[in-house]
């Protein structure tokens, strides 16, 4: 497009106070190629100059699952439904990692990208979206490893049936990603003012996991604490995710509705705060 071909009547963009000009869906679409390149960049960069490279996909969930196996299955004797504990824990860990990485990386949007944001304009929302994209890419091979593990169990005679609801898996992942985007952008907007919030987020995510049915099914939660699990959207999503994989748990309608409502609310509030923050954050940080 040369300068002379530009449509005169319509400006490419308008700057105005108070106008939500950043991250408009049309803008986001125009920058889709940047999104793809950023996903690729983060995916590749994470494994450059590391000893194990892409093997981290497999090592980390295995080690964590083994630790859970010892602590929660052998010592605490928590039920893992009909699944072998290793499969139960690993399926939980990889999806929790997906969620928690999404939240913490989105929360760092403004802190990490401040130098670029100060120099070049592009829809800021591209950054958190690309972080989520990268995490989806990280999750897929881990899911592959889980299927390998299941295959191994099946070969050794311990049959694990996959659920016919497998097609619902992307849907539950999408809900988790939306929750992570909403929560992460809310925190990102707040980090413009309080920079240490990201540390709190780390702690919070660690604690949150124990209430999210990652280490035990809903049936193992004592009745006096069940309200906590009901109000926790991630508990419902993890349950949904596992039931769409194996069918040994069943997603509960009520809690799922609550979880979806919370997710939509958080996404709306988080994105609104993000938009507010991106307008003038370069004046503050």
Partner 1 sequence: MPVAIEAHHISKQFFLGERNQRTFFEDVWSNTVAGVQRFLQPERTSLAEHSRPSFWALRDVSFQLHQGETLAIIGENGAGKSTLLKILSRITQPTMGKAKVFGRLASLLEVGAGFHPEFSGRDNIYLNGTMLGFSKKEIRQKFDEIVDFSGLEQFIDVPVKNYSSGMYIRLAFSVAANLNPEIVILDEVIAVGDAAFKKKCFERVESIFRQGHTVIMVNHEMAHLRRLSHRCLWLRHGQVVMLGPTNEVVTHYEREMNVAVDDSRRPAEFAETT
Q: Is 51 in the site for partner 1 (CB under 8 A)?
A: no
Asked if residues 112 and 285 have their Cβ atoms less than 8 Å apart, the reply is no
- Specify the 3-state DSSP secondary structure of 82: strand
For residue 123, which of 179, 176, 177, 185 has the smallest C-alpha distance? Answer: 185
CA angle 45, 194, 135 (to 5 degrees): 25
Q: Which stretch binds partner 1 (CB under 8 A): 19-27, 63-71, 132-140, 207-215?
A: 19-27
Q: What is the largest CA-CA distance in the chain?
A: 74
String marking each residue 103-142 x if it binds partner 1 according to CB under 8 A: ------------xxxxxxxx--------------------
Q: Is 14 in the site for partner 1 (CB under 8 A)?
A: yes
**Cα–Cα distance measured from residue 76 to residue 249, given in angstroms and rounded to the nearest whole number:** 20
Q: Is 18 in the site for partner 1 (CB under 8 A)?
A: yes
Q: Which of 48, 155, 156, 157 binds partner 1 (CB under 8 A)?
A: 48
Q: Which of 194, 226, 265, 268 binds partner 1 (CB under 8 A)?
A: 194
Q: What's the closest the beta carbon of residue 197 comes to partner 1, in angstroms?
A: 8
Using CB under 8 A, count the residues that bind partner 1: 43
Q: Is 165 in the site for partner 1 (CB under 8 A)?
A: no
Q: What's the closest the beta carbon of residue 234 comes to partner 1, in angstroms?
A: 25
Which one, 81 or 198, has the nearer CB to partner 1? Answer: 198
Asked if residues 245 and 172 have their Cβ atoms less than 8 Å apart, the reply is no
Q: What's the closest the beta carbon of residue 31 comes to partner 1, in angstroms?
A: 7
124: number of CA atoms within 13 Å, CB side?
32
Q: Which stretch binds partner 1 (CB under 8 A): 93-101, 134-142, 264-272, 276-284?
A: 276-284
Q: Is 279 in the site for partner 1 (CB under 8 A)?
A: yes
**Cα–Cα distance measured from residue 265 to residue 263, given in angstroms and rounded to the nearest whole number:** 5
**Cα–Cα distance measured from residue 57 to residue 79, given in angstroms and rounded to the nearest whole number:** 27
**Cα–Cα distance measured from residue 219 to residue 210, given in angstroms and rounded to the nearest whole number:** 15
Query: What are the two backbone dihedrals, phi and then psi, of residue 41, each rounded to the nearest 5 degrees?
Result: -60, -50
Q: Which of 50, 82, 193, 265 binds partner 1 (CB under 8 A)?
A: 193
Q: Which stretch binds partner 1 (CB under 8 A): 13-21, 82-90, 164-172, 239-247?
A: 13-21
**Cα–Cα distance measured from residue 271 to residue 188, given in angstroms and rounded to the nearest whole number:** 10
Q: Is 63 in the site for partner 1 (CB under 8 A)?
A: no
Q: Is 155 in the site for partner 1 (CB under 8 A)?
A: no
C-alpha distances in Å from residue 95, one per residue of 86, 127, 139, 172? 14, 21, 7, 10
Q: Is 250 in the site for partner 1 (CB under 8 A)?
A: no
Kindly list the residues in this chain that would bind partner 1 in the complex (CB under 8 A).
1-4, 6, 8, 11-19, 21-22, 30-31, 33-34, 37-38, 41, 44-45, 48-49, 115-122, 193-194, 279-280, 282-284
């Amino acid at each position: 497009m040369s300068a002379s071909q530009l449509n005169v009547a319509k400006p490419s963009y308008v700057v105005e106070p108070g106008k939500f000009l950043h991250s408009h869906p049309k803008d986001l679409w125009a920058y889709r190629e940047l999104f793809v390149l950023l996903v690729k960049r983060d995916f590749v960069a994470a494994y450059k100059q590391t000893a194990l490279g892409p093997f981290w996909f497999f090592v980390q969930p295995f080690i964590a699952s083994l630790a859970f196996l010892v602590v929660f299955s052998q010592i605490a004797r928590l039920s893992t439904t009909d699944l072998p504990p290793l499969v139960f824990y690993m399926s939980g860990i990889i999806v929790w990692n997906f969620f928690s990485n999404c939240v913490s990386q989105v929360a760092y949007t403004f802190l990490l990208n401040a130098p670029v944001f100060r120099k070049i304009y592009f829809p800021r929302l591209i950054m958190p979206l690309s972080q989520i994209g990268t995490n989806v890419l990280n999750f897929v091979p881990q899911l592959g490893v889980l299927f390998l593990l299941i295959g191994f169990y099946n070969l050794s005679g311990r049959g694990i049936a996959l659920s016919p609801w497998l097609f619902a898996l992307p849907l539950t992942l999408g809900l988790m990603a939306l929750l992570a985007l909403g929560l992460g952008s809310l925190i990102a907007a707040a980090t413009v003012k309080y920079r240490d919030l990201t540390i709190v987020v780390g702690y919070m995510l660690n604690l949150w996991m124990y209430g999210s049915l990652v280490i035990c099914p809903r049936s193992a939660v004592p009745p006096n604490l069940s309200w906590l699990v009901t109000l926790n959207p991630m508990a419902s999503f993890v349950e949904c995710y596992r039931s769409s994989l194996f069918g040994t748990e069943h997603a509960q309608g009520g809690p799922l509705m609550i979880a979806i409502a919370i997710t939509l609310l958080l996404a709306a509030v988080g994105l609104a705060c993000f938009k507010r923050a991106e307008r003038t954050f370069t004046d503050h940080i």
